[in-house]
Structure 1
Amino acid sequence: MAQLDIKKAEELEEKLDSGLHTRAIGPWLIKFTFVFSILFAAYHYITAGIGVPIDYWHMGFHMSGVILLVFIGFPVIRGERAWKMHANSWWRYANVPIWDWLFIVVGICASLYIGFTWYGVDFQFMGYRFFLPEQVLRQGNPAPVDVVFGTMLIVVLLEAVRRTLGIVVPIIILVFTGYAIFGQYIPVQVLRHPGIPWAQYVNNMYFPAEGIYGITLWIVSTVVFQFVLFGILAQRMGLGQFFVDVATVMAGRYTGGLAKISVVSSAFFGTISGSSIANTVSTGSLTIPNMKRMGYPGHLAGGVEAASSAGGQITPPIMGAAAFVMAEFLEVPYTTIVIAATVPAAMHYIGVLCIVHFQAKRLGLKGLPSDEIPKLLAVLRQGWPTVIPLVVLIYVLFSGYSPHMAAFWGISSALFIGFVNPMHRMSLRAVGEGCVTAVKYALAVGAVGAAIGIVVGVVNSTGLGFRLGFMVTNSALTLAENLFSLISWIPLMDITVANLTLFVSLVLIAMTCILMGAGLPTTALYIMLVTVAQPALASLGIPPLASHLFVLYYGVISEITPPVCTSAYAAAAIAGSHPFKTGVSAFSFGIAKLLV
């Protein structure tokens, strides 16, 4: 029975995912970040069960913790020298330079400023009176100090996102910012607007209700982190091994057995992991070397794993946590999203399985020998307790409770089973390390979740979504009229200009989603796409749920679409194959996802 090495998988993921690779820090700072990460995870776990504080305090606490850990762990410039340990000096302590400490102080102060000044401030210091009315009276007319703190937080968040995810997302946010401020100079008439003064822009982005403290950060801080923590603890208490064993029993004996094991185990992993890279590394560290051993070329082994793992972002119940944001946007029960997403997710995996089967037939690849396939009863007898946390989580979700309450009970049951199950017993140290790993996984999505709220704020403030929707539908109508004149003569084809307009619009929006989705965490990807692209679909009369799922599905296809296909590159590193060739293989295996 193949053993899944969680430690090895996490080390591989840290090596392959730039959002997890942190610099060396001093001994005392290692201890501090270890303890702080455990407290950070404990805060989110406890508040998920007993209730979160007032929203601006809760989001402020979450953002402060993310900013602290990002600027401790991620250097300003990535390079071989940046990751190494350096001696203390007047401008560097514990290998963290003074400007990063300054970013930390400024970021934490700006994050908590809203909470401290919510009910107003009135005090005297050295003969000077400092007075601020309560926040509701400053909404729409921010004080100069509000503008200063808001500007500082915007700068800090952009830098935090740049360090964790690269330059692409900050550039996108800066483009939206430029559009909001200089809208009166836009040459395209339909996109032109009066422009927003900087003080008003900061007011819209900084004060709660929309922008940074909007729905994006709220979902990330109350739901996303808790589900990341659940996924990590569930793997550590043996659920990942159980998934691999069940997949081996189900698919190992058939043609292309190891590749089918990869697909089935990735489908199982997708229920607890919304990250395609995490899914690729977790199962791929075991399945890819075995596939190569059985005769699969490296690029095919990596491609199968990447294509299978990319389905995790559309697999209920977690779906990269995008499902929870979708439920908030649509104002529908979470279970509605899960039910709607189940069939397309199943179709994706069935499509990959079919392509794997025919490819294995062509290459003459057989199934596993019977002595390498575990007995079903033995697998169930040993692993059934590890499924309990997932069952509890799904049961609580479908009972009508909030997602964070479901995560609370899922985590609680994972901890309980992990402590009492003799087959996969977790130590307190393992729980602590799991909390640290979960926090590290959540840093990138925490930073981008706050920053991407700026995009949402700009779209809401300027009406950009509807303007873009008008442009897309008009362009599609023009193309459709030209196409109609070319194909209307074909007999037995009942095609109208309206149908062609819908088809062309969907193609244009799908291409936009694939291009914009490159390398983004699922939650941030979905929020950005649904803010920009969904209004165009709504204007075409497409039902809201269908349009939201459409932009999500085509956005996550970027994970296996060359040249930017992050999960395929992670699989290539494990397989020792050419990254681009592996990406092409992943796309060919996952092409059914385009048709779902």
Structure 2
Amino acid sequence: MEKKEKNVTYDPDLTPDNSVDEETLRKYDSESRFRTFKNPLVPKIVTILAVFLSVYHLYTSYAGMPQTLQHRSLHVAVVLALIFILYPPFKKSKSKKVPIYDIAFALIAFSTTIYFFIDYTAIMNRGGLPNSTDLIFGIILVLLVLEAARRVTGWALPTLAILFFLYGMFGNLMPGIFRHRGYTWEDLVGFMYVTTEGVYGTAIGVSATYIFLFILFGAFLGKSGMGQFFNDLALAVAGQSKGGPAKVSVIASGFLGSINGSAIANVVTTGSFTIPLMKKIGYKRNFAGAVEAAASVGGQILPPIMGASAFIMAEMLGIPYKDIALAALLPAILFYVASIVQIHLRATKEGLQGISRDNLPQVKQVMKERGHLLIPLLFLMYMLFFSGRTIIFSALLTIVVTVVVAMFRKTTRMSLKDIVEALEEGARTALAVAIACAAVGIIVGVATMTGFGIKLANAIVTLGGANLLLTLIFTMLACIVLGMGLPSIPTYIITATMAAPALVELGIQPLVAHLFVFYFGIFANITPPVALAAFAAAGIAGGQAMRTGFISMKLAIAGFIVPYLFVFNESLLLTNTTLGEGIVVVITSVLGVIMLGTATEGFFMTHINPLLRVLLFAGALMFMTPALLQDIIGLSIIIVVVGLQWLRAKKEGVASLKAI
């Protein structure tokens, strides 16, 4: 019997306006639980501090930075002050008044950087050997960082930092390979405060440069209307196709997720628009939420910005940013192709159509109205890939270009008030990442002192029995656990420090190892039992949290498989390949993920029986592991499956064939 296809007229009330489901955002994203103030003076103080922080970073990116510890300490101090003013200590705390103790915390936070500016020469002359005053300010800094991290990110990260601190003190009592000689609290506090290996280490150094500037860039893009442009363009391109709103979700969430660096915030922002539309055309609520969650998390692996993680990777590995972006491009494309294939086949199977063309924006109209907003992104890509200028200067100049380009049309033009709001919003958005990086500095600092990273790498390799596949599986599980409940950037830093060395020890290239751990750390956001992005999407869709998480994993299946494949065959990263080889790899791998998505959904023309699904899945893996014989086998499987499905569909009726 032929299914009646649903064709939904676009509801003007759901016009994409970047509105945010604030209740859902506050429930699932602790980074967004800001206080709302009765006293009008407090918001002005917040604005002054936030704008100062943004302007300071813009100025130093052009004129140069002060001494390293001074620069990083000032960055952390302002971040701490803003957090204690903006974030209440607990969910149920009164959120309209700043208590006296939070005012005191904010003021004390500045003392840690004032001391650096006043006594910097003497601190440097002591060569990392702290005196009693250094230790006092060090204790203050560590405690403030832990408390601020708890308020913003939840208990997971500060608890991990405390456990590592205790490990630094009492590791001499541990048995086995994790035992070390032990350190006093004075050793640890001094290392955290007066060196560039602790709180003021690489993580906060990257936060105080690349990350802050690119978050600020995202704020300016948002103020210019880039979010609405992506939504409108996605609607114009994909809205009318089968399951159109789900494809709109994938396209818009991918682009926005790459820029904003927060999967949960992206789910709530874009999902507030796309999830109701998906439900309206007939997608079940759990599936609708899962589409948005998977697409938003996928944005974190999508070049050119990759949620700013690409810049940290470049810093940690000491290789050019453009090499990382190019290596990550094909795996990201494969991720989205596999997702869209499943979405399309689900729509075909259930007879779901898109939105009536009469009620959709036209590509020409969208480009005429806001197409000029693509210029800053194209300019950024030129600066990063071809100009030869530093990443920091490229970000600064791109922000300026964004403001200028936005003036081309009245609908995107930014007033002085808009610019000030973008400066404030950028600083507010950066708070979560900055404080997470400061807390990660404690973890990485202890790992550096004790050699924990190497010890864990040895443990993983030993557990895997020097078997690469087993080691990859154990590393994947470790990364997912380490990434639970954490923002993407600190997740990458932790997994790169703790898990990547295990793969490097087995002879895997550092870039490949870092991309592997980065993928699985990120995908913790959609992997139950702690799948915060999926839970947020379920909250908007009214679905079941765990069910939505498992469907998200299914939609993101390419992201769970491709990292294994590029470990065994680096050609998927398009490294050390000729142009001809690269073209072949792209074609075969794309065909492979199409097969993978088809096997996962279990539908092509008509339902696919379990045996053929297994065969199709095997063929997909062969296509994605480039080799002539495997490509021939994969192609043969495609021909066989398509032929059998065509015959079965023909037997079942012409209607099935029309549903392709």
| Aligned match of 1:506 | 472
Aligned pair partner of 2:278 in 291, 315, 320: 291
| Aligned match of 1:593 | 559
Q: Is the 8 A contact 1:294 1:365 kept in 2?
A: yes
1:217 matched to 2:204? The reply is yes
Q: Distance in 2 between matches of 1:234 and 1:384?
A: 13
Alignment of 1:81-160 (within 5 A): 82-85=93-96, 95-119=97-121, 134-160=122-148
Q: Is the 8 A contact 1:510 1:554 kept in 2?
A: yes
Q: Distance in 2 between matches of 1:557 and 1:57?
A: 35
Q: Distance in 2 between matches of 1:318 and 1:573?
A: 28
The two structures have a TM-score, normalised by structure 1, of 0.88
User: How far has the Cα of 1:7 moved from its partner?
Assistant: 4.7
Q: Distance in 2 between matches of 1:505 and 1:430?
A: 50
Deviations 1:34-80 (A, max 9, x none): 2322222222222223322222222122111111111111122221x
| Aligned match of 1:537 | 503
Q: Is the 8 A contact 2:168 2:450 kept in 1?
A: yes
User: How far has the Cα of 1:473 moved from its partner?
Assistant: 0.9
1:358 matched to 2:345? The reply is yes
Alignment of 1:474-489 (within 5 A): 474-477=462-465
Q: Distance in 2 between matches of 1:154 and 1:271?
A: 31
Deviations 1:208-250 (A, max 9, x none): 3211111111110111111111112112212222212222233
User: Residue type matched to 2:120 in 1?
Assistant: W
1:565 matched to 2:578? The reply is no
Q: Is the 8 A contact 1:279 1:312 kept in 2?
A: no
Q: Is the 8 A contact 1:237 1:417 kept in 2?
A: no
Aligned pair partner of 1:199 in 186, 195, 201: 186
User: Residue type matched to 2:553 in 1?
Assistant: F
Q: Distance in 2 between matches of 1:295 and 1:169?
A: 39
Aligned pair partner of 2:195 in 183, 203, 208: 208
Deviations 1:549-594 (A, max 9, x none): 0110000011111121111122122222232222222222122210
1:378 matched to 2:391? The reply is no
Q: Distance in 2 between matches of 1:289 and 1:177?
A: 46
| Aligned match of 1:58 | 71
Say which SS state the counterpart of residue 306 (structure 1) adopts: helix
Q: Is the 8 A contact 1:182 1:196 kept in 2?
A: yes
Distance 1:420 1:249, change over 3 A: closer
The two structures have a TM-score, normalised by structure 2, of 0.80
| Aligned match of 2:150 | 162
| Aligned match of 1:34 | 47
Q: Is the 8 A contact 2:30 2:151 kept in 1?
A: no
1:319 matched to 2:285? The reply is no
| Aligned match of 2:29 | 17
User: Residue type matched to 1:179 in 2?
Assistant: Y
Q: Is the 8 A contact 2:128 2:195 kept in 1?
A: no
User: How far has the Cα of 1:327 moved from its partner?
Assistant: 0.5
Alignment of 1:322-337 (within 5 A): 322-337=309-324
Q: Distance in 1 between matches of 2:368 and 2:179?
A: 65
Alignment of 1:432-447 (within 5 A): 432-447=420-435
Q: Distance in 2 between matches of 1:376 and 1:96?
A: 48
Q: Distance in 1 between matches of 2:162 and 2:127?
A: 23
Q: Distance in 2 between matches of 1:9 and 1:408?
A: 31
Unaligned runs of 5+ in 1: 86-94, 120-133, 478-497
| Aligned match of 2:449 | 461
| Aligned match of 1:487 | none
Q: Please, what is the CA RMSD of the aligned residues?
A: 1.8
Say which SS state the counterpart of residue 272 (structure 1) adopts: helix
Of residues 325-334 and 229-238 in structure 1, the stretch that sits farther from structure 2 once superposed is 229-238
User: How far has the Cα of 1:421 moved from its partner?
Assistant: 2.0
User: Residue type matched to 1:83 in 2?
Assistant: K
User: How far has the Cα of 1:103 moved from its partner?
Assistant: 1.8
Say which SS state the counterpart of residue 120 (structure 2) adopts: coil
Unaligned runs of 5+ in 2: 1-11, 563-660
The count of corresponding residues between Structure 1 and Structure 2 is 548
1:43 matched to 2:19? The reply is no
* Identical positions, percent: 39
1:347 matched to 2:334? The reply is yes
Say which SS state the counterpart of residue 139 (structure 1) adopts: coil
User: How far has the Cα of 1:365 moved from its partner?
Assistant: 0.8
Q: Distance in 2 between matches of 1:389 and 1:43?
A: 22
Q: Distance in 2 between matches of 1:221 and 1:453?
A: 13
Aligned pair partner of 1:182 in 167, 170, 178: 170
User: How far has the Cα of 1:84 moved from its partner?
Assistant: 4.1
Q: Distance in 1 between matches of 2:419 and 2:538?
A: 31
User: Residue type matched to 1:56 in 2?
Assistant: L
Q: Is the 8 A contact 1:6 1:236 kept in 2?
A: no
Alignment of 1:383-422 (within 5 A): 383-398=370-385, 399-422=387-410
Q: Distance in 1 between matches of 2:26 and 2:305?
A: 22
Say which SS state the counterpart of residue 31 (structure 1) adopts: helix
Aligned pair partner of 1:267 in 254, 257, 264: 254
| Aligned match of 2:413 | 425
User: How far has the Cα of 1:321 moved from its partner?
Assistant: 1.5
Q: Is the 8 A contact 1:64 1:112 kept in 2?
A: no
1:555 matched to 2:521? The reply is yes
User: How far has the Cα of 1:15 moved from its partner?
Assistant: 6.0
Q: Distance in 1 between matches of 2:163 and 2:156?
A: 11
Q: Distance in 1 between matches of 2:505 and 2:20?
A: 48
User: Residue type matched to 2:118 in 1?
Assistant: F
User: Residue type matched to 2:547 in 1?
Assistant: K
Say which SS state the counterpart of residue 406 (structure 1) adopts: helix
Q: Is the 8 A contact 2:524 2:530 kept in 1?
A: yes
